[in-house]
């Protein structure tokens, strides 16, 4: 299988597939689902986070990172290796079942230039009921209903490259967790909208996020960092305070070990350096509030 030669009439897409090499069958399935995309010109790189990608299909570049730099940094390294007017990020346990996915997703971006980021609906390919957390809205509604969102499931995300570059890219210090919230916020800060496309589908198995050993710590640390990096000063304690209350209510009665780990990360978030600060503009806060999600919850 080969990547088609560039056609001036087709949209160009740089695709970054991130992997640690621990899921070879899933990785192969995901890459081949990208190469099967029709009516687009692709430039694909497989980024090995602490791993040398091997046995890749013809036409796919390999980028080996000597150590695991974390999910956001791994994706950012891949961006520098691909060309295209659009960027598509795919995790190694995700795939795209429809060969017209990229064509149709780009058509949505072109039809509405206010959309700066698109996340599809996520489904388990075996038919297991998808968790509600995959719908990135407070009021979940139907999974098929599209609309503006303020966080994204990062496993399959499409952006115009100019928008991605303007955001500064994925938040490298985060390593894992909440980098999709920051990216969505920074898309909004470009005067664009992060969009949940419930009519488009990506596949991903239902796996508990708590499988990661540092889930609770990084979840809390990055929540604090998210506020410190991106919110106007007045909003920082309000946002962190609201999420602290939510976690206490969720876990205090039944999962005290998780809460202790979470507060360990919470303290780390205040004591450590989150990286450069780029507060959202006042007009962005107002737009987000009018759209239903003031950045205090």
pLDDT score for 6:
55
Per-residue pLDDT of 74-112, as tens digits, reads: 999 999 999 999 999 999 999 999 999 999 999 999 999
d(CA 204, CA 181): 19
User: What's the distance, CA 133 to chain centroid?
Assistant: 13
Per-residue pLDDT of 256-294, as tens digits, reads: 888 889 999 999 999 999 999 999 999 999 999 999 889
Q: How much is the average pLDDT of 32-52?
A: 98
d(CA 277, CA 229): 4
Q: Percent of the chain, pLDDT > 90?
A: 82
Q: Which of 130, 104, 133 lies closest to 118 in space, CA to CA?
A: 104
Distances in Å between the Cα of 187 and the Cα atoms of 24, 65, 159, 277 are 32, 27, 9, 16
Give me the phi and psi of 107, to 5 degrees please.
-60, -35
pLDDT score for 202:
98
Q: Coil, strand, or helix at residue 132?
A: helix
Helix, strand, coil share (%) of the chain residues, nearest 5: 40, 20, 40
């Amino acid at each position: 299988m080969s990547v088609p030669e560039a056609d001036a009439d087709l949209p160009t897409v740089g695709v970054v597939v991130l992997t640690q090499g621990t899921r070879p069958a899933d990785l192969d399935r995901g890459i081949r689902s990208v190469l099967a995309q029709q009516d687009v010109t692709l430039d694909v790189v497989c980024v090995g986070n602490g791993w040398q990608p091997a046995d890749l299909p013809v036409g796919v570049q390999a980028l080996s990172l000597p150590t695991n730099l974390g999910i956001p940094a791994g994706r950012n390294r891949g961006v520098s290796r691909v060309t295209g007017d659009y960027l598509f990020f795919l995790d190694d346990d995700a795939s795209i079942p429809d060969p017209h996915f990229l064509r149709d997703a780009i058509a949505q971006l072109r039809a509405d230039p206010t959309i700066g980021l698109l996340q599809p609906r996520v489904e388990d390919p075996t038919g297991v009921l998808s968790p509600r957390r995959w719908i990135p809205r407070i009021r979940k509604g139907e999974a098929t209903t599209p609309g503006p969102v303020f966080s994204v499931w990062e496993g399959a995300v499409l952006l115009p490259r100019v928008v991605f570059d303007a955001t500064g890219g994925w938040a490298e210090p985060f390593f894992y967790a909440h980098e999709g919230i920051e990216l969505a916020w920074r898309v909004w800060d470009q005067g664009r909208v992060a969009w949940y496309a419930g009519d488009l589908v990506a596949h991903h198995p239902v796996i508990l996020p708590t499988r990661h050993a540092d889930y609770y710590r990084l979840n809390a640390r990055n929540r604090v960092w998210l506020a410190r990096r991106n919110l106007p000063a007045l909003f920082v304690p309000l946002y962190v305070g609201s999420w602290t209350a939510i976690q206490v209510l969720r876990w205090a009665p039944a999962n005290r070990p998780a809460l202790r780990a979470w507060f360990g990360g919470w303290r780390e978030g205040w004591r450590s350096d989150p990286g450069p600060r780029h507060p959202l503009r006042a007009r962005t806060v107002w737009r987000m509030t009018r759209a239903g999600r003031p950045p205090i919850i």
